[in-house]
Amino acid sequence: MASSAVLVPSFMKAFENLDPTLLGYKKLVVIQLSGGNDGLNTIIPYRNDLYFSNRPGISIPKNKLIDIDGELGLNENLAPLKSLYDKGYVSIINNVGYPNPSRSHFRSTDIWHTASSAGAYLDSGWMGRYIDQYGKKPYSGIEVDDSLSLILKGTTINGVATKDAKKMFNNAKTPFFSKVLETQTEVHLSEHNLGYLYKTMVGAKSSAKYIYETSKTTTSTQSYPNNPFAKQLKTTAEFINSKLDTKVYYVSMGGFDTHANQANRHARLLKTYSEAMEVFVKDLEASDSFKDTLILTFSEFGRRVQQNAAGGTDHGAANNLFVIGKNLKKPGIYNDSPDLSNLDKNGDLHYTIDFRSVYATLLDQWLDASHSKVLGNSFNTLNFI
């Protein structure tokens, strides 16, 4: 649901009249590789014999990777990402995770989305809480998809989910939507649950008009690959390049749960990701938006070090992630390679960097926000931006 000024109560106009400097100008794009990307076949420790002995059927041979530092290599299907790496636009952070990791897709995704500990259950996402405290408008955060994930749900304000701003705008103008707001909003605003619902509807309706009318002024001229993920990134680029007053974006790409016959499937996924990312960055650069945009790519967990009997890998724990931007303090390999000789009792990598330290760094040093206020605790910050 979205927005249009028609029938919006005057007291809700505050959504539209806040000082835009509260949000600054920097943008953050968070991309999730859903399903648990195999980090060891993405960033390959090709000088480590334990990598090959644990994966006799699925390890990436040395002639099928792109060396980056004499110890680690990129999967050859990440060649487009290597061009960004060579420009100093990519920082690879190894061994990212959290204590007592969950190997459930749903639970681990919730942990990453909410920035909770493994034993805590939260009903708001860290980006949603950022919007609550610093954005104050639903369109301060956009998920480029048809439904809103937990990561962008706040305690008082939710972000907006849309893959098509025009369609969202037209849906918000339907007679039913307008009639509900016209006849019910004033009645239910004093009721806790219904009041929240109708405030969300009003914010969504207002956001739809703003997003559509602002973003329609910019159309990408870049040639994106023809797949759903690339289309999501194209839409994200058009939103950013149109100067929407949106600070945080969330995009996800599924398919990374590679329990069986991993080799070809994983190769296709990495190729899809990297080809789209190269065009996305080029699109932002063409509009001079890249210098103000930072991109984080993560997965809810990595894969087990040892391959399974089905030619795939099972759910693991710690993993690598990518930070992509023009303002990196430490491009390249940020920290030590995974230690394959010191695994946990399940045969998984130990984490050395808490993922919430990554979030804390993004909040403090990029979004100019208090990470402890958003995350609910204090964490060590890193030095990649």
Q: What is the pLDDT of residues 8-55, one digit of tens each?
A: 444 344 444 444 444 448 999 999 999 999 999 999 999 999 999 999
Looking at residue 29, which CATH number applies to its domain? 3.40.720
* Residues lower than pLDDT 50 in the chain: 1-24, 185, 187-189, 194
Q: Is residue 385 part of a domain?
A: no
Indicate the SS3 state at residue 188.
helix
Number of neighbours of residue 208 by Cβ within 10 angstroms: 28
Q: Return the bridge partners of 323, or none.
A: 91, 296
Q: What confidence score (pLDDT) does residue 327 get?
A: 86
Range of the domain at 323: 17-168+224-375
Q: Is residue 216 part of a domain?
A: no
CA–CA separation, 246 and 60 (whole Å): 40
Indicate the SS3 state at residue 348.
coil
Q: Is residue 210 part of a domain?
A: no
Q: Is residue 142 part of a domain?
A: yes
Indicate the SS3 state at residue 320.
strand
Q: Is residue 38 part of a domain?
A: yes
Q: Is residue 193 part of a domain?
A: no
Domains contained in the chain, number: 1
Q: Is residue 298 part of a domain?
A: yes
Spatial CA neighbour of 320 closest among 79, 73, 60: 73
Number of neighbours of residue 274 by Cβ within 10 angstroms: 19
Q: Is residue 310 part of a domain?
A: yes
Q: What confidence score (pLDDT) does residue 170 get?
A: 84
Instruction: Report CA torsion sign: 256, 361, 290, 135.
Output: positive
Q: What confidence score (pLDDT) does residue 180 get?
A: 54
